[in-house]
Amino acid sequence: QQTSSNVLLHKVLDGFHSLQGSPSELWKCYTLKFLDSYAYFSFSIIFTLFLTSDFGFSDVHAGTIYGAWGALITLFGLLAGCIVDNLGVARSLRVGFVLTFVSRCMICFTTSRTVLLFNVCGLLPMGSCLGIPVLATGIRRYTTSGNRGFAFGLFYVIMNVAALLSGPVVDACTIFFKSAENAVLVEHYNLTGYRIVILTGTVANFVAVCFAATVREIKI
């Protein structure tokens, strides 16, 4: 058992060693993946509850909207291929994260169903399709055939770590801010627990915008 653990440890260390000398864009992609995954998973955990609690949608309507959001990310992703080819990785990431940041801001603070649905079914999936798949393209461009397998493995580990983090954050926000007296008052506006969760994702998205602004259009 100890020998197997040592072998595994050496493989992991060799994998990290193989990434030495990679451009800084590779590590920026990992950072963007973490921030984007946290924002995505924390939002998806509370999305249907947010729709029913803060907007009064029925369970059936909330589930339908949730399904439409996921389907539109896939649909826009198929249609965005030519856009990504023209813009390139760097500009696609900038546009994508700016769109998702604006969308999450509006979702977090709006009380209008129309504004909510416009962002959930429009800006948010449109921005997501310019971020998530483009990051995978970036990993391919910033690695070599010798270390690409480990690079992609690390890429998905980072995604899972962000998903794991989102759970405790959601629990903390929804438990503490569940009651009306604990809601955060901003300009006579109550930020409920679910909106606080979305706000944390919005902050993560803002940091992602800052990182995306520094990504260069390069290829190994």
d(Cα 137, Cα 123) in Å, to the nearest integer?
Answer: 22
The pTM of the full predicted model, rounded to 2 decimals, is: 0.89
Chain mean position to CA 114? 23
Q: Is the pLDDT of residue 49 over 90?
A: yes
Q: Is the pLDDT of residue 1 over 60?
A: no
pLDDT band at 181 (very low <50, low <70, confident <90, very high): very low
Q: Lowest-pLDDT range, 46-60, 76-90, 98-112?
A: 76-90
Q: Which of 114, 94, 98, 115 is nearest to 106 (CA)?
A: 115
d(Cα 174, Cα 165) in Å, to the nearest integer?
Answer: 15
Q: Which long-range contacts (CB under 8 A, 24 or more apart) does 115-118 make?
A: 116/55, 117/65
The β-bridge partners of 191 are 184
φ/ψ bin of 56: left (φ > 0), alpha (ψ from -120 to 50), beta (otherwise): left
Average pLDDT for 119-133? 89
Q: Is the pLDDT of residue 171 over 70?
A: yes
Q: Is the pLDDT of residue 200 over 50?
A: yes
List, for residues 130-156, the tens digit of each pLDDT value.
877 889 888 998 988 889 999 999 999
Q: Is the pLDDT of residue 199 over 90?
A: yes
SS3 192: coil
Bigger pLDDT: 101 or 173?
101
pLDDT at 11: 84
Q: What is the mean pLDDT of the chain?
A: 88
pLDDT band at 78 (very low <50, low <70, confident <90, very high): confident
Q: Which of 51, 70, 40, 66 is nearest to 113 (CA)?
A: 51
